[in-house]
Amino acid sequence: MNIGDLLSSERVCYDLNANSKKAALEALSKLLADDDSSAIEIFDGLIGRERLGNTGLGKGIAIPHARIASAKHLKAALIKLAQPIDYDAADHVPVDMLFCMLVPEEASQEYLNVIAAIASLFSDAEAVEHLRSAGTAEAMLNQVASRKVSDAA
């Protein structure tokens, strides 16, 4: 599986305007909402997860995620913000790139594999720079589409 398999063009945004962590999580919730999971349920899950520990990785990147009871499959959204926001990240660097995942309750191993692949993607400084300068949502999607998710975490 490729990371891009978790995304769709409707769930990738470039230069999204959000002036706070809450606004960014609300935008992600709306992108991920579908017939199975409402934006409110997703937002509540993301906020609940943030209360357990901040999902800011550092260097301007966050990976908000939540287990959602109604989710039928793992899916993701990717946004690059127009302006960085305070995300309470450990390194205190404002966040401008968010990769959000919804995880079905039973998808533990798949979730660990995807988290490892996402961490690898965002630890590659060149890949992150390409994402930040992509210019369009489509270009961002193309940047991550070929990144493999390992079969073992």
Known catalytic residues are 65
- Distance from C-alpha of 129 to C-alpha of 105, rounded to nearest angstrom: 33
CA neighbor of 8 nearest in space, from 63, 96, 75, 98: 75
